[in-house]
């Protein structure tokens, strides 16, 4: 007595192929979502108490990154400007603008503005801004073209794989130190980058040691 019909000879392989295709499609969907702005928030503006425009201040007015982020060259954290820094200009300019009311209120109350983090690494990751700046890593490499952002958004995923791309091949990213704060600087030629890696005493072995970032 025949248990399965002759059609089973066709249906069984088709079903197996269908399962494989379904798994591949689901894997592709998960991969796409994992790297999409929906998950990474790359390019997605973050709401802030004051809609600060880097495009206006950096590109329009030519204000250097270090004017507001004073600790970026010497400290682990770049920091955000104190209200007094904002009021250096805005005590004279746009003094009655409604959009700047939170800034004026912060000054009067002597309480900092509660900005929302745009680039937020997990607590188990150690990152030092000053080290990267001193070794020729440009602001653009991590934060993107902030001079073209009306509202601040993440420029990169900050995933471990993205960090490792630089740690494994720093010659592709290390620039001349004079270009670190140049928003328009382009990625260096790996040949000249290799010379800078040597000149800046970058230990490529240490870069790939787990304890460098996970302490």
Per domain, the residue ranges of the chain are: 11-40, 54-80+119-213, 82-114
From the list 45, 89, 63, 51, the residue with the least C-alpha distance to 181 is: 63
CA angle (186, 157, 183) in 5-degree steps:
25
| Residue 129: per-residue pLDDT | 96
Instruction: Output 187 or 82, whichever has higher pLDDT.
Output: 82
- The tokens for 195 are 């010379």
Mean pLDDT confidence for 121-146? 95
Query: Is the CB of residue 181 less than 8 Å from the CB of residue 64?
Result: yes
| Residue 15: per-residue pLDDT | 83
From the list 142, 192, 189, 146, the residue with the least C-alpha distance to 167 is: 142
| Residue 71: per-residue pLDDT | 92
Query: Is the CB of residue 51 less than 8 Å from the CB of residue 151?
Result: yes
Q: What is the C-alpha to C-alpha distance for residues 167 and 206, in angstroms, rounded to an integer?
A: 9
Is pLDDT above 60 for 10? yes
| Residue 12: per-residue pLDDT | 74
| Residue 142: per-residue pLDDT | 95
- The tokens for 93 are 């300019």
| Residue 4: per-residue pLDDT | 61
- The tokens for 106 are 């912060």
Mean pLDDT confidence for 22-38? 93
Global pTM value: 0.85
Mean pLDDT confidence for 74-103? 94
Q: What is the C-alpha to C-alpha distance for residues 195 and 174, in angstroms, rounded to an integer?
A: 10
Q: What is the C-alpha to C-alpha distance for residues 27 and 158, in angstroms, rounded to an integer?
A: 22
| Residue 186: per-residue pLDDT | 83
Is pLDDT above 60 for 1? no
């Amino acid at each position: 007595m025949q248990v399965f019909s002759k059609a089973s000879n066709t249906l069984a392989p088709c079903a197996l192929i269908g399962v494989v295709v379904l798994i591949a499609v689901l894997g592709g969907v998960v991969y796409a979502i994992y790297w999409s702005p929906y998950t990474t928030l790359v390019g997605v503006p973050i709401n802030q108490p004051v809609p600060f425009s880097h495009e206006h201040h950096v590109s329009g007015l030519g204000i250097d990154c270090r004017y507001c982020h004073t600790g970026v060259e010497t400290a682990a954290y770049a920091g955000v400007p104190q209200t007094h820094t904002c009021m250096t200009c805005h005590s004279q300019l746009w003094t009655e603008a409604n959009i700047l009311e939170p800034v004026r209120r912060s000054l009067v109350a002597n309480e900092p503005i509660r900005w929302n983090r745009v680039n937020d690494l997990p607590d188990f990751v150690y990152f030092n801004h000053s080290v990267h700046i001193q070794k020729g890593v440009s602001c653009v490499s991590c934060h993107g073209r902030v001079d073209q952002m009306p509202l601040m958004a993440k420029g990169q995923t900050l995933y471990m794989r993205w960090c490792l791309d630089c740690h494994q091949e720093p010659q592709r990213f290390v620039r001349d130190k004079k270009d670190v704060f140049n928003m328009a600087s382009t990625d260096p030629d790996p040949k000249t980058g290799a010379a800078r890696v040597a000149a800046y005493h970058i230990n490529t072995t240490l870069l790939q040691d787990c304890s460098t970032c996970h302490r």
